[in-house]
Every structure is written in C-alpha cells, then in structure tokens.
Chain A
Amino acid sequence: MLFNSLEFLIFFPLVTLIYFLIPHRFRWAHLLFASSIFYMAFIPVYILILFFTILIDYIAGILIENAQGEKRRWYLGLSLIANIGVLAIFKYYNFFITNMNDLLTVLNVSNKMGYLQIILPIGLSFHTFQAMSYTFEVYYGRQKAERHLGIYALYVMYYPQLVAGPIERPQNILPQLRTPQPFIASRVTDGLTLMMWGMIKKVVIADKLAFFADRLFSKPELYEGPAVVIGVIFFAFQIYCDFSGYSDIARGASRVMGIELMENFRRPYLSRSIHEFWKRWHISLSTWFRDYVYIPLGGNRKGIYRWLLNLLIVFLTSGFWHGASWNFIIWGALHGIFTILYAYFFLRKESRLAKISIPYWAGWIITFTVVSFAWIFFRATSFDDALLITKNLFSGWAILFQGKDALSALYLNYTFSSWLLSILLIAALLVIERMEEKKSIIAYIHSSKRWTRYAIYYIALLTLYLFGVYQQSSFIYFQF
C-alpha cells in the first residue's frame, strides 16, 4: 500500500482509531494484523518470506542469548545466512546470472544459465537489515532476546517503516511497543503535521521534478549541457524529497500512535562536505553500516590505509545494497572515493589541508556537485546511459547564447511554467531547510498563534490539492 494512495487515506485513520480504542495488551496483535494487510497490498504471497525470516531470527535471538562461546557465533551465522540467502535469491541471483552468462560468452561457452522470473519483494533490503540488526545486537549483548514472537514480528513488520525504513534498532522500537501509549493531542497533531510535510515533499516536489528527471534519464541522447545539469539537479532533489518524504510520513504516522522512529534525513543538501553529507543522508542505513560493517572491520583503528580501505568497502557494500546492478556499485564506489579523498586530505591530523578553513558556500557547492554527479550512475537505466549523460554534460553549452527559442531545451521540452514552478519549489525547500537548522518546522508551527497555525495547515492542504501530482507513483526506495 502506498502512502500516497486512497487506500492509505482510509487505512491510516482506521488503524489509528482502533489502536487507541483497544486495550494496550491487544495493540501488538492489532498492529501486526494491520501491518500484514499493508504489506499484502503489494504481492500477498511474499508475506511468507517475511514470516520465514522472522521465525528464523526470533529463534536465533533466543539461541544466541542462551549459548556460550563459539556457539553464539554459529547461531548468528545461521541467522545471517538465512537473511542474506533470501536477499541473494530474490535480489542478486539474476544479477549474478547475467554476469556469469556474460563471462561464459567471453569464454565461448554456449550453455547459459537460466534466470528466475520473480519480482523483488517490496522493501526486502529494509526489513532484512532491520531483522539482522536485531540478531547483531543480541549477539553483541546490547539487546536482550525478545521472547514474545508477536512483538518481535511487529518489530520487523511495523507498517510505517516496513517497506522503506528507517531501518530501526531493537533498542529503540521494542521498548516502545511494550509501553502503553496514551492519546496525546499535541503529539497526534505533530505526527499529522509531519505526515503532511512528507506528503508535500513527495507529491508536490518529488513527483513534479520527476517529469523533468524522467525525460533526461529515459532519453539521454536528446539532451546536452545545461539541460543535463538541470535534469540531474532535479533528480537530486526528486530522490531526496521522495525518500525523505516517505520517512517523514512514516515517522509522522508512527508518532501519532506514540512510537517515535529515528530521524532518517537531516537536511543533507546543506552539507559542507561529503563526510557531513553521510551523517545527514539515510542516517539509519549509514549507522547500520557503521555499526555492523565499518566498526567490526576495524574502523579507523588499524592504520591509515586500512581505514581508507574500510571506508571503500562500506560504500561498495552500500551501493550493492541499493540494487543488483553495476550502476549502483559504481555509485557506491564514487561515494567511497569522495569520502576517502576527504578523509585523507581533511580528516587526518597530519594533513595540511585539514587546517584550512573552507568557506561554507565553497564546501556546499563542491559537496552538492559531487553528490549530484554520483546520482547520474544511481538513476541511469544502464551503464552506457550513465556514460552518455556524463559525456553530454560537457557539450551543448552554446545553447545558452542562441536566443530564447533554443532555451526551451533547458526545460527538457516541458512547459516553462512547470519548470519555473519546480525551481521555486526547490528554492522554497532550501529556505525551509535553512530555517530548520535552527528550529524544526513542527516547532515553528507549534509555537505560532492558533490562527496562524490554522492558516499554515490550510495553505499546506491547498498546496497538496493544487500542486500535487496524483498518479500514485511509487516511492523510489521501494525497489530496494
């Protein structure tokens, strides 16, 4: 079920109302049932995969807690094999086969391996990683094994964050699921406001920018120079508003029920360095890789070269997590290289550059440019397309001096009014985010007078109604 669908508009108030009307002891069952319906709105049978991993990890958690020494590692290993196995079959098998078949072609072997004709279960990487974080935490002794199968299942399946995160930690969610949450009007209002802000980001900004970005990435041979720059910038904001919009709706929906989810985005496009960017972008995934990959690999404790290698490994894995395609791996590699360069020149104490203070605007421009450049590989439908877009980036700039008619290429053959509206929306977003650096938008609204508050809500509703794109477009991160 999509957050931006009519079904959710009925589902959400109904589930929330029942949640507050029933006694606390039944709430887990109610939420679990609602989450199952939410998930089954996509491909119902895939819920069995979820049940499978839930059961494995539930048992593994208890076994790890009860075991001693080497056995603990074995049980952790079994749980990881089950989770990664599901990912390998559904997400990576066809990618592996494609590459094997390419290799066989090079070796002149005529026998080819067959593909699996399956669709990736929605949000598979998210809930698998969330389940894995539970077994890791139990293994490291930072979390007690959950004995209540229903509560544990709800931890994995909790509908607001089931298909696109935030990838939660058991320490945050499990105690909240066990605590009775009363109906607090101000909290509900905050949650609804956050949901509305998320919806604006998704249906007003992201889906509007998608018109332009989709044109560039579906027909890259038609666009050059400034049109490519605009298309890529629009995609950078599209993916941000799409994904952070989802996270805001998820957090808002959860906050209404009194369960606080972690912040997944902290205004990443205001970052002054790639290092800062990754502290602000998809925080739940970055911290997951930090805690379960980077630190176990030794982090920055094993010398400079090992540190840089660890960074590269983390970003390559992160790229591969996003999708079974070389484009995602290259995207991860680019971020790995940017981060390594930054770490080497700006984070080492011995580095001279570390002592230089870079102006905010310069850092911001460099960071936004490299991040946007990497998005080309993330979004392009093939590696060839990504290369073509990169090549076209450097040609066709003469268009800027060829008069008014030629400038229509800048709008990617769309209407000027939509293009201008998109620019204004991006500008408005950046202004709001700059304000949010000091105080959250919700706090602003909360502290304003009643009639101002109502006016803001009405303007937000009107914006949604007048400028939203309602074609039920899926969220980009659902595919992961």
Chain B
Amino acid sequence: MKRYIVKVILFCFPFLGLVAFVNIYYDPGEVFHSQNREASVLMIQGKNVLKTAIPNDWTDFHLSYIQERLRMKLPKHSTVLWGSSRSSEITKELTGRKDFHNFALPGSSILDHVAMINIFEELGVLPDTIILNIDPWMFYGRKTILKEGESFYILDKDQKLQCKKGLQPYFLKAIKNMGIKPNNFFLIKEENNAWSKFTAVLSPSYFQSSVKALNKKNNSPTTRSFTPGFFTIRSDGSYSLGTWEKKNIPRVRISSRIYASLWGENFFYEASLKSEYFKLLERFTAYLQNKKTTVYYFLAPVHPLIYPSQDINYQTKMEKEIKKLSAKYHVKVLGAFNPYVYPELIEKEYFIDSYHLSSEGMNIIMKSPWQ
C-alpha cells in the first residue's frame, strides 16, 4: 500500500505542482499578493492604474482605496457621502459643495456605514456633514426559502447583513464607542485568510481564472469590473463605477424589463424590517449628531418598472420609519425609493439598471433643495 501511495503522489505531483504554480503566479483574485494598496495610491495620484497594478476584487479594492485616501491625510472634506453604488453618481457639482467627497462603497450595508465612522475618527477627519445613503436592503431580514416540489419551506434562520471583508474590526470599535454591545446579530464570522489561500492553491475554479488571465496580465485586467472606461474619476477625486452601461440606453431598457420579471416576484419575498438594524441607525444618527456632524438621509429611487413589482409594503414601511426617525432627530431626507414621487423620472430612461440612477437621473433628485 505504501508503494502505491508514493506512486500516486509522484504521479499527481507534477500536475498539482503546475496548478499551484499557475494559481500563485497569476493569482487572478489577488489571494496571494494583493495589489489593492498600490492601485489605490496610483489612482489617488491620478495615474493609470491598469498599466501597473490590476485590482480585481473591486469591493476590497474600493475599501482599500478609501482607507488609502484617508491615510494620505488629504485635506479634510467637510461634506462626505457614505453609501452604496446606488449613490455613486452623486458628485460635488450635484451637491454644490466644493470639498464634497463621495465614499460610496458598492453594496454597503448599515454595518459598513457604522464601520466607516471609525476609520474617519481614527484619522481625525470626521466631516461636518454626512449624507447617509439608505438602501432597501439596509434593514432587510429575510428568511431562507427552500423550494421542494410545489411547496415552499421556510427555514427559521435569518439571513444577516454583512460587513465588508476588512471592515469588521472598525465596526466593532465603532459600536463599542457608541456604547452598543456586540451581539449575535452583529457578529459576522471573518473569512479565514489562511484557509482561503490554502483552498486557492489547488482550486480548479481558480485555475480556470488563472488560465484566462495568462495572456492578459501585463496589458489588460482580468475581470470586467476593471475594463478601461469602466470607472471614471469624478471631479471630487472619487471614482464612479458602471459608466459603460449608460452609453447603451436601448439595451438597458430591455435588461430592465428582464430584471423586472426576474427579480420582481421574490426579491422582497417574506422580507421584514429588522429592528436591530433600525435601532443601529438611530444610535448611529444620535452619535454623529453628538459629534456635531449634520446628517442627511439619502434614498435613491428604484426603477419605475421595478418598483411596483417589488413588495411595496416593505419599501413604504421602511420609508415611513425613516421619516419618523428623521423627524425625531431633525434629519433631512433627500430622495425617495418611490420613483413616482418625481414625475420627470418617468418621462425618460434615467436608470442604468433596476436600482441605479444615471447621473442625469441623479441630477433630478439633487435639484430639489436639500439645505
């Protein structure tokens, strides 16, 4: 048996060795050597990031970019936006504030917003005004639904919002400062970096990505997210994602309809507002106000085709709760989930897709007086 095992190992070794070499050397997901920091610095300096460093995991990269920007001790911005891709089209021109900076983090949750304050506080760059983008999924509790034959089974297990990888330590420090005890609801298991490296070495799917990256390493990026022209540097120095789609409105219109039928039925199926997240926003607002920071809530409209097909109850209920909170803390609300509040939005296509306004669309929302 020993001889056989040795033979199998010797047989597999060259193959697995090759796989490991390709995966480590080409490293398309930057598991072994992240270039996020280098790429961030280059971008902040206004250089072409694609020629030297190729960021791949754009959420991680974005976080690194924000941290790097803050670390470089650039002049403090008096007005900043913390939000998701749904608010990434807000620029300093739209806000009318010269030292505005958009720190939108794609797909961010309330936990990410809370974590952000700690990054700013530690660096001593807490702004005077914060626009908090609030998304429909921000207080979203959804039970896991399994479909079996013609019956649905609902697992008594809530899906939890998650902090972005790397933001968890900031989040924990932030809630400690706010006097909130970490509980089961807020604690998220951090991804084990060593384990992800171990699995990536011989991973077949990683190997497939590595092979795809073979000839692209030195001249073009490996994922669509960083194709040239995908992101544009805005006038405030921040960057925006998703510009390629705006140029192709007819296609977008079709895809919006497909989205409507794909997502319309059950994106908010069995959704409920989670009081834990809501309370967190309340405490967070109070905390910011204690720090003499003016807070604005921003709600980006949903595509007019999508909005009616979603669970309107959920969205209107959420909007109502936000308005109650804004009245209690004297926080002004900009925008609304309901696109029909803005008749202009219905007249033309102002959306990149189901949930993202184009800059022209954003202009309509930001035209309304906000201070």
Contact = CB atoms under 8 A, between A and B. Distances in A.
Interface string A333-349: 00000000000000000
B150 A470 contact: no
A119 B11 contact: no
Interface in A266-313: none
A14 to B, nearest CB: 13
A94 B151 contact: yes
Nearest to B204: A465
Contacts of A443: none
Interface stretch (A148-156, A363-371, A454-462): A454-462
B149 A323 contact: yes
Interface string B139-153: 000000011111101
Contacts of A458: 15
Interface string A320-333: 00011111100000
A381 B152 CA distance: 12
Nearest to A467: B208
A32 to B, nearest CB: 22
B339 to A, nearest CB: 25
Contacts of B204: 464-465, 468, 470
B19 A117 contact: no
A465 B150 contact: no
Interface string B194-214: 000001000111011001000
Contacts of B151: 94-95, 98, 115, 324
Interface string A227-243: 00000000000000000
Contacts of A326: 150
A188 interface: yes
Contacts of A118: 153
Given A183-B1, A183-B4, A466 B146 contact: no
Interface in B135-172: 146-151, 153-156
Interface string B243-278: 000000000000000000110000000000000000
Given A20-B1, A188-B4, A465-B204, A382 B150 contact: yes
B15 A98 contact: no
Contacts of A17: 5
B208 A465 contact: yes
Nearest to A325: B149
B4 A117 contact: no
B208 A466 contact: yes
A470 B150 CA distance: 28
Interface residues of B, number: 25
Nearest to B261: A219
Contacts of A6: 199
Contact of B203 (A94, A188, A325, A470): A470
Contacts of B148: 94, 119-120, 324, 479
A98 B156 CA distance: 21
A454 B149 contact: no
A95 B4 contact: no
Contacts of B155: 119
Given A465-B207, A466-B208, A470-B204, A185 B4 contact: yes
A328 B147 CA distance: 15
B154 A325 contact: no
B204 to A, nearest CB: 5
Contacts of A94: 148, 151
Nearest to A328: B149
A115 B153 CA distance: 9
Contacts of A471: 205
Contact of A117 (B1, B156, B211): B156
Nearest to B16: A461
Contacts of B4: 183, 185, 188
A117 B153 contact: yes
A192 to B, nearest CB: 8
Contacts of B156: 117
A188 B261 CA distance: 51
A255 B22 CA distance: 33
A127 B150 CA distance: 23
Interface in B1-43: 1, 4-5, 11, 15, 19
B211 A466 contact: yes
B336 to A, nearest CB: 31
Given A6-B199, A324-B150, 11 more contacts: A95-B151, A98-B151, A219-B261, A324-B151, A325-B149, A457-B11, A458-B15, A464-B204, A466-B207, A468-B205, A479-B148
- 10 closest A-B pairs by CB: A325-B149, A470-B205, A94-B151, A465-B204, A183-B1, A185-B4, A323-B149, A325-B150, A324-B149, A465-B207
